[in-house]
A and B are shown apart, each in its own frame.
Chain A
Amino acid sequence: MPLDNAPESKRKFNVVGTRPLRPDGIDKVTGRARFGADASAPGQLVGRILRSPHAHAIIKKIDTSKAEKLAGVKAVITRDDFPDHTGGSGGLYDTLCNVMAREKAFYEGHAVAAVAATSASIARAALKLIKVDYEVLPHVTDVDEAMKPNAPLLHKDMFTDGVDPKPKKPSNVARRFEFGHGDVEEGFKKADIIVERSFKTEAAHQGYIEPHAALASMGPDGSAELWCCTQGHYMVRDVCSQLLGIDIARLRVTQSEIGGGFGGKTTVFIEPVALALARKANRPVKVVMTREEVFKASGPTASTSIDIKIGVTKDGMITAADGTFRYQGGPFQGCSPAEFGGMSAFAQFHLDNVRAVAYDVVANRPKTISYRAPGAPMANFAVESVIEELAHKLGMAPIDFRIKNAAREGTKSSYGPTYGPIGLGATLEAAKNHPHFKAPLGPNQGRGMAAGFWFNFGGQSCVTLNIPIDGSITVSVGSPDIGGSRASMCMMVAEELGIGYDQVRAIIADTSSLGYNDVTDGSRTTFATGMACILAARDAMKKLCARAAATWGIPEDAVTWEKGYAKPAGANAGNFAPLSLKEIAAASPGTGGPIAGHHEYSADGAGVSFATHICDVEIDPETGRSQIVRYTVIQDAGKAVHPSYVEGQFQGGAVQGIGWALNEEYIYGKDGRLQNAGFLDYRIPVCSDLPMIDTQILEIPNPGHPYGVRGVGETSIVPPLAAIANAVADATGVRFTQIPLSPPRVLKGIEEAKKAGGKKAA
């Protein structure tokens, strides 16, 4: 029985690559599926959080006495209920400061107190009775403003890391990163044409439709249970127990169905608060964020300011690429994905001279958290805009310019390592040959494209597979299923065992039932947890073969597994009729007891991912409104396990990118308060905004996976910002360097260009 991990690129699949119905589907179309806010517990209280109205303020005193006296109030908590168990510094301490403000409120919406009461109306009334004495401080929300020497300081002890010599004065710049190789100054000397531009992108929110929700229960002995919507319930368990100072094993976290995450549910916000309230009240407490709280107090992505300079020779070879990336990540260091912006910005090119300098900047905004390919879309927007402009200056088709300079196997990537087999060239060639690329454009329409990159990774997974006496199979996984991964897990187990998809069911186990699993992020689940499923199935297969061997009285290695049957391996093994999975399972009580397969490991070898997007946009010259009229996503999936859900990832990521490019932005007033904390004013794309999103799945097997699978979840949000900006430039003749490309901004750009009498950058 081969147990090697080599990719089987020529392998014929029976289940993988088909499109079966998902196992959780009926619950989700009938309203039965239980999401975060859908659970309740006997005697449960309603928990609500009081939040800072100020962008930056010292919290001098919190008086909770009146709230505590209100009938129906069972617990009121503040910073005093969160003694520091973290050692007073580092990422965990920052998380503690974020879930409940300590000395200072760092942004509008920062939690300062919480109550648990017998009803929502009593809880609301109690919040109004809490008196907080603030000393309001000057604030800063813009990334460029925050970097100025005279900017209001968030932390007196923040000295930029990664600068030589170490700065003498504190600043809002937490860290400096530098990546690259070669000599960019020398490279620019060889260039015939150089384009240099500055860009800005606003913060976008992941915009999951399900607000954060948690139902906590905790006894005086420290034993606790938590039900919540999260991308990683083991992460929630570990972080909450450390913040509350209890043994990790005492906290059991059950993951509800999750109503979208996109990176936004890879940390904790309300979960430790719900537990602390439950501990104090000694009753279950349910905390559910409002939409306003989601916008103001969960984690959007970074806002950025980026400078790009790229030089080319007359024949279209890039000689040097240089970029400065400033990412604002909220009030704590290490939260903005500045380093990933710097690392990914030029990753789609073969470059001899490249430099990316990235700054992680703090400001008075919510603590940012990952959003699908964190950091990459903004950098890609800047770089691919300059690439398009260079192509026009060269008189070269942008697609040919990209193909000419594309990274390939053996290229030293802009972030260091040398690429193995990658699919970028294939996506570019597929784009060039796509009918979309040749289709005629109508009046006021323009076409743009962009290629994008994301790393992907593996991480820790643990899977158990149980085989009851009828030969059906339960797969317990610990990776929250956000977009249909239970289906792909079942498919891979069925494929491996040579049985039908309908025989396999997957569930998401709670943290006490199964070993640790990393958060569902980094496009890792189908790759890493899927591989653990495959290896758990192989473990079960070995045990099934052993049972057959024992039944036949032959050595275990004389039995092989084929298409759902144990068979004697060759004529010498003996002449026995094959035993089916069902037969072996039925006999299991008498042949050694229950049969289970298991695998635990840390998966590495996730292949990097590339995508090319093509976009047609039509501009209304009177209003500046952009309408996407056609959109095509071409991406390498390695091997698409369930093609419908791979397409779904491509389409969903592209549309999130469309929203970010055209409408979505965090708008702050001069008072540092968010002015559009609702879906009416923070406008995510609606059905009538969009055309169908065409997809083309390429399958260039990943050598790090037995089926060749690559992660597909994130890369699709990387190219849209640039593809749309390039299409708008094509339609209007105006190069926009700031997103979102909202109607007023586009209209202003068009009108200014008219006045200037030609092309210009806005």
Chain B
Amino acid sequence: MSGITVNTKINGDPVEFICEADETLLDVLRNRLGLTGAKEGCSTGDCGACSVTVDGRLTCSCLVLGAEAEGHNIGTIEGMAHGESLHPLQSKFLEHAALQCGICTPGILVAAKSLLEKNPDPTETEIRFGLAGNLCRCTGYDKIVRAVQDAAKEMRSGKSAKSKATAKKRA
């Protein structure tokens, strides 16, 4: 067994790890780097619980090999809040009770953030299709959709411009 050395950036920080050829990015994040926020719900790309971004693109980390992360920027749920400030999506999920058990929540937040970056003012239908790759079995999605709508509204308002600016400065 020879390990592969991989250099990557995770949530903006340089990270170097060694993995086996058959290990997924999800395995590496969870088992080698201690980043257990991404969850394994299916390992076949059907549930979205392992959602991360790779160079800003929403990806199921169970479908990417760890070795493929070489040279890329990986974004995970652990990088979503900045210091003590939660991302507006995180705050709105709490406010709207948009989680029950919470296992799907990290993946859904990563997916919702990715959606709002591309489309800051989505319709309900666009939100529903934007999150269609992330399964939630507890909520029936109602409160999740409302939380995303509310977060999008806040992010579009002056308040969000300010928090975005803070986020950029920190990054």
Binding site for B on A (CB under 8 A): 19, 21-22, 24-26, 28-35, 37-38, 119-121, 206-211, 257-262, 288, 290-291, 482-484, 642, 644-645, 647-648, 651-652, 654-656, 678-680, 684-688, 690, 692-693
Contacts and interface: CB of A to CB of B under 8 A. Distances in A.
B128 A34 contact: no
Given A26-B94, A29-B86, A692-B145, A260 B138 contact: yes
26 contacts: A26-B94, A29-B94, A30-B37, A30-B80, A30-B81, A31-B78, A35-B36, A35-B103, A207-B137, A209-B39, A209-B41, A209-B101, A259-B102, A259-B104, A291-B47, A482-B100, A645-B97, A648-B143, A652-B137, A655-B140, A656-B137, A680-B46, A686-B131, A686-B132, A687-B127, A687-B141
Contact of A29 (B30, B93, B131, B135): B93
A30 B137 contact: no
B74 interface: no
A210 B39 CA distance: 8
B41 A678 contact: no
Nearest to A259: B103
B136 interface: yes
A684 to B, nearest CB: 6
A208 B20 contact: no
Contact of B97 (A207, A209, A644): A644
B148 to A, nearest CB: 10
A656 B46 CA distance: 17
A531 B101 CA distance: 22
The interface residues of chain B, by DSSP majority, are classed as loop
Nearest to A258: B101
Contacts of A654: 140
Contacts of B136: 209, 687
Contacts of A652: 100, 137-140
Interface in B23-79: 27, 30, 35-44, 46-47, 49, 76-78
Given A652-B139, A684-B135, A260 B97 contact: no
Given A688-B128, A688-B132, A679 B141 contact: no
Contacts of B42: 291, 678-679
A290 B42 CA distance: 7
Interface size of B as a range: 35 or more
A483 B142 CA distance: 15
B20 A121 contact: yes
A655 B80 CA distance: 29
B155 interface: no
Contacts of B96: 644
Contacts of A647: 97, 142-143
A679 B39 contact: no
Contacts of B106: 29, 31
Nearest to B47: A679
B109 interface: yes
B13 interface: no
Nearest to A28: B102
A645 B145 CA distance: 16
B140 A693 contact: yes
The interface residues of chain A, by DSSP majority, are classed as loop
B109 A29 contact: yes
A692 B46 CA distance: 23
A119 B109 CA distance: 31
B16 interface: no
Contact of A28 (B35, B105, B142): B105
A644 B124 CA distance: 20
B105 A29 contact: yes
Nearest to A683: B46
Interface in B105-158: 105-106, 109, 124-125, 127-129, 131-146
Given A31-B37, A209-B136, A262-B137, 15 more contacts: A26-B94, A28-B105, A29-B90, A29-B109, A33-B102, A37-B40, A121-B20, A206-B137, A257-B101, A257-B102, A259-B101, A291-B47, A642-B97, A686-B132, A687-B128
Contacts of A33: 102
B90 to A, nearest CB: 4
Given A29-B93, A257-B101, A688-B129, A291 B138 contact: no
Given A28-B105, A684-B135, A34 B36 contact: yes
Query: In the complex, which of the residues A19, A260, A642, A686 has the most CB atoms of chain B within 10 Å of its own CB atom?
Result: A686
A439 to B, nearest CB: 18
B132 A692 contact: no
B77 to A, nearest CB: 4
Contact of A692 (B90, B133, B142): B142
Contact of A690 (B97, B99, B140): B140
Contacts of B20: 119, 121
A52 B86 CA distance: 47
B101 A210 contact: yes
Contacts of B135: 209, 679, 684, 686
A587 to B, nearest CB: 34
A206 B1 CA distance: 39
A504 B41 CA distance: 33
A71 B106 CA distance: 37
Contacts of B77: 30-31
Contacts of A32: 37
A210 B44 contact: no
Contacts of A687: 127-129, 131-132, 134, 136, 141, 144-145
B100 A291 contact: no
A207 to B, nearest CB: 5
Contacts of A35: 36, 39, 103
Given A25-B94, A291-B42, A692-B145, A260 B101 contact: yes
Nearest to B108: A687
- In order of increasing CB-CB distance, the 3 nearest A-B pairs are A31-B37, A259-B103, A655-B140
A648 B124 CA distance: 19
Contact of A209 (B30, B93, B131, B137): B137
A667 to B, nearest CB: 16
A29 B109 CA distance: 8
